[in-house]
Structure 1
Amino acid sequence: MARRPLPLLFSAGYRIFFFLAGLFALFSMALWLAHLLLRTGEGDLFTSIAISPFEWHAHEFIFGYGSAAVAGFLLTAAPNWTKSKGASQMYFAAVSGLWLAGRLALYLSGALPVWVVALVDLALLPAVGLRILMLLLRRPKAPQMILLTMIALVWSGNLMMHLEWLGWTEDTSVRGMRVGVLALAALIVILGGRVTPAFTRNAMLRTGRETGLPVNPAPLAAASIISAIATVLALLTGLGDHYAAVPAMLAGVLVMIRTSLWRPLWTLPYPILWTLHLSYLATGAGLLMWGLAALGTGSEIAALHVLSIGGIAGMTLAVMSRAALGHSGRPLIAPKALAIAYGLVPVTAFLRYSAEMWPQTYDANILLSGLMWIAVFLLYSVSLYPVFTGPKLATPSAE
């Protein structure tokens, strides 16, 4: 008898968390657009929350969507790194339930004690981090152990927001948002800087090409990673935007230089590759723009949306879809609908950027960018639903 989709959905980290990330990105944006279009006063569709609608919007896209994507990746990759057995279905059901409880707690925060909301929402990443630590301690390697530091930095941004909501600190909520976005960007600088040139090199070798392969100089990689992490630490420790601006700009320039060395033009016929390059490039551009904005040149909100949509959303979409295809035994070829989704990501980022840079187009571009975002994750969710819920077809890709 064939197994039902639900048990298979809970059989691997990439299945349940990448599935939930796509659905949440879709429905939370639909809710946000409905709020913007239909509200008759402050609150409206968000009368159930204790925080402002803006704070909910920022928090959930950073720590709701972002945490699901990070958890799915790490819970899928860590067993491969350590040659360990994957977790049980019960574990995946429990941690995904914990993630969902956090989303419900935020949305219903007006009816719950503030400390309960904080406790529930802050529980996921420590739970995931503990399992990753237990796996990595079996075969500890510094390049992988640093990921635990990045999880802690992302979680710290979330903690800063909750501390202000609890009334224990002042003016840490907005800083926590920035820490969260920039910590996710630093994670992309690390992971994207590993997988993008490696996957491109492997693809080129499979076509028989042996020269002109991507190069990834270690000093350049180290400098970009250190600069990205330094940006987060400067904000986290309260040094201020001006102290974070210089490492952010340096990281942005280095990331763009690294991308140019990975033969991005060669990948144009392969959507599943060029989306990695484009998202990494957008991460660099977003870091540079944020650093400039912190020094008074340009819009910080525009920079953060380039970073969060073009960089973070683009790279997570690329990695989630590639990992899902590879680990389910399917060819590493993006279905047509998924390739269209890849192409819509930079359009979405540009429209949201334009809303800030040209105020006369604000309302139209906010609406259009939101609709594009919904289209991206609808295409992603529909095209990969059989992957998340269906059986594994063959041995996972070696990549």
Structure 2
Amino acid sequence: MTDLLHITEPGGTRASPQWQAFLELGFRPLYLAGCFWAAFSIALWVYAPQLLAATLPGVLWHAHEMLWAFIATIAVGFLLTAASNWTGVNPLRGLPLGILLALWSAARIDYLVPGALAFWVAACSELAFFAWAAAALGRAIVGARNRRNYGLPLLVLGLGMADALYLLAALQGDYALLLQRLNAGLLCMAVIALLVARRVIPFFAMRAIPGLTIPMHTRSGQWQIGAGVIAVFGSLLRVPTVTAAALAAAGCIALFQVLAWRPWATRRTPLLWILYVGYAALGAGLLVAAAHAMGWIVRAAWPVHVIGVAGFSVLIIGMVTRTALGHLGRPLQTDHAMVISYALVILAAALRLVALLPTDIAPDALHASAAAWLLAFVLYLWRFFPMMIRPRADRAVAPAALRTSR
């Protein structure tokens, strides 16, 4: 462990932690924050649920934090970082990025504090987080006339709006309305995940495997995103047949894309196959959601967990590894800790689905899933925290174009 925590730079010089480095790009603070909260919130939910006695109690808090405090936070960190590549302008760095992190942290703390005042402070902080991130993305993308990505700030705003609607439904105590709005947020996040993953997975694969040529599926990706947007509105407007058809279309396209990307070629490259597994699980989850919209699956927990745990979370553990290594100037290679974290997240997802079955082993499966999940994200933090708080390994300073942020 000692060797892993000693970050050495070329020439043998050990870099010191720096606030400037930590707040250089969005992925650094937000990947760490999101992954820490993934571990902490599950530990609290599974092993100490009696502590969840604030305005958002129990399962309401758990569902909210998994989607908006973990999954959406990682997505925002990725988009803020990717936008600097797409536009040549870093959307947030330094103090403005620190303020974004402070808003996120205030929301996490205050949602655990009983009382109406704490709840409203948390809600306002969280909504400001999404608005701040969307505005920063919008300024960078529109300012650079990067028309291909004009919709991304709107999708981040959509996540924030779905969050606000969920919180209002929670205050009203309307479970049916709350579930509908949770699904809307989940589907909005699915649209973002489909859009990003469909672009980056083929790109990563062709760069990593010599001679591999696979289709980008630009046209099918456009149909897929269109279907996802229709599914979001169908869910909000409560039109189940339209929602189900759109979800089924998006899911089938995702599975078709994965098969066309020659998954067998990635079997010896963990940085790739983990992304393939997550994307395939997301596609399967959309089909499960379509079945639920049609009333063929009664329990709402099934689509939520297939999409959220088997889909998003598996994609996330792959993305926070691959993109972090790339932006930290380190070799695009996994070590044993990283591969073990991949296996543990997949195991946690499988056990969580087993726990949904009406069997005697469901409680044991839930606790085993939580243990695997905790260990996976603790391993990630242990491996990457020392890197995230230090300058790039290759000592490359962000280009001047990337420093013209804010």
**1:1-399 matches, cutoff 5 A:** 3-36=16-49, 44-47=50-53, 49-85=54-90, 87-110=92-115, 112=117, 114-167=119-172, 171-204=176-209, 207=210, 209=211, 213-236=213-236, 238-298=237-297, 299-394=299-394, 395=396
Map Cα deviations across residues 361-395 of structure 1 (whole Å, 9 max, x no partner).
21111111111111111111111122212220125
Using the alignment, how far apart are the partners of 1:129 and 1:309 within structure 2?
25
Map Cα deviations across residues 227-276 of structure 1 (whole Å, 9 max, x no partner).
1221112113x224443111111111110001101111111111001111
Q: Does the residue aligned with 2:356 lie in a helix, a strand or coil?
A: helix
Q: Report the more deviating stretch, 295-304 or 54-63.
A: 295-304
Using the alignment, how far apart are the partners of 1:170 and 1:284 within structure 2?
27
CA shift, 1:6, in A, is: 4.3
Map Cα deviations across residues 306-351 of structure 1 (whole Å, 9 max, x no partner).
1101111111221122111101100111222111111222222111
Contact 1:99 1:124 in 2 (8 A): yes
Contact 1:256 1:284 in 2 (8 A): yes
Q: Measured at CA, do residues 2 and 319 of structure 1 come closer, stay the same or move farther in structure 2, by a change above 3 Å?
A: closer
What letter corresponds to residue 77 of structure 1 in structure 2?
A
Q: Report the more deviating stretch, 25-34 or 299-308.
A: 299-308
Q: Does the residue aligned with 1:172 lie in a helix, a strand or coil?
A: helix
Hey, what does 2:11 align to over in structure 1? none
Q: Measured at CA, do residues 255 and 218 of structure 1 come closer, stay the same or move farther in structure 2, by a change above 3 Å?
A: same
Higher relative contact order (CA 8 A, sep 6+): 2
Contact 1:160 1:172 in 2 (8 A): no
CA shift, 1:144, in A, is: 1.1
CA shift, 1:5, in A, is: 4.4
What letter corresponds to residue 30 of structure 1 in structure 2?
A
Q: Measured at CA, do residues 14 and 217 of structure 1 come closer, stay the same or move farther in structure 2, by a change above 3 Å?
A: closer
Aligned length: 383
Using the alignment, how far apart are the partners of 1:375 and 1:240 within structure 2?
41
Using the alignment, how far apart are the partners of 2:359 and 2:249 within structure 1?
29
Q: Does the residue aligned with 1:69 lie in a helix, a strand or coil?
A: helix
Using the alignment, how far apart are the partners of 1:87 and 1:63 within structure 2?
20
Hey, what does 2:5 align to over in structure 1? none
Map Cα deviations across residues 2-59 of structure 1 (whole Å, 9 max, x no partner).
64344432232111111111111111111111135xxxxxxx2112x11221000000
Q: Measured at CA, do residues 259 and 64 of structure 1 come closer, stay the same or move farther in structure 2, by a change above 3 Å?
A: same
Quote the RMSD (CA, aligned, Å): 2.2
Using the alignment, how far apart are the partners of 1:114 and 1:391 within structure 2?
37
Using the alignment, how far apart are the partners of 2:106 and 2:234 within structure 1?
31
Contact 1:192 1:280 in 2 (8 A): yes
Hey, what does 1:40 align to over in structure 2? none
Using the alignment, how far apart are the partners of 1:255 and 1:85 within structure 2?
30
Q: Structure 2: where are the runs of 5+ without partners?
A: 1-13, 399-406
Using the alignment, how far apart are the partners of 1:4 and 1:366 within structure 2?
38
Contact 1:159 1:176 in 2 (8 A): no
Q: Does the residue aligned with 1:392 lie in a helix, a strand or coil?
A: coil
CA shift, 1:157, in A, is: 1.5
What letter corresponds to residue 150 of structure 2 in structure 1?
M
CA shift, 1:165, in A, is: 3.8
Q: Measured at CA, do residues 86 and 179 of structure 1 come closer, stay the same or move farther in structure 2, by a change above 3 Å?
A: closer
CA shift, 1:67, in A, is: 2.8
Using the alignment, how far apart are the partners of 2:271 and 2:257 within structure 1?
19
Q: Structure 1: where are the runs of 5+ without partners?
A: 37-43
Hey, what does 2:7 align to over in structure 1? none
Using the alignment, how far apart are the partners of 1:29 and 1:57 within structure 2?
8
Using the alignment, how far apart are the partners of 2:373 and 2:118 within structure 1?
33
Q: Does the residue aligned with 1:222 lie in a helix, a strand or coil?
A: helix
CA shift, 1:142, in A, is: 3.3
Q: Measured at CA, do residues 143 and 314 of structure 1 come closer, stay the same or move farther in structure 2, by a change above 3 Å?
A: farther
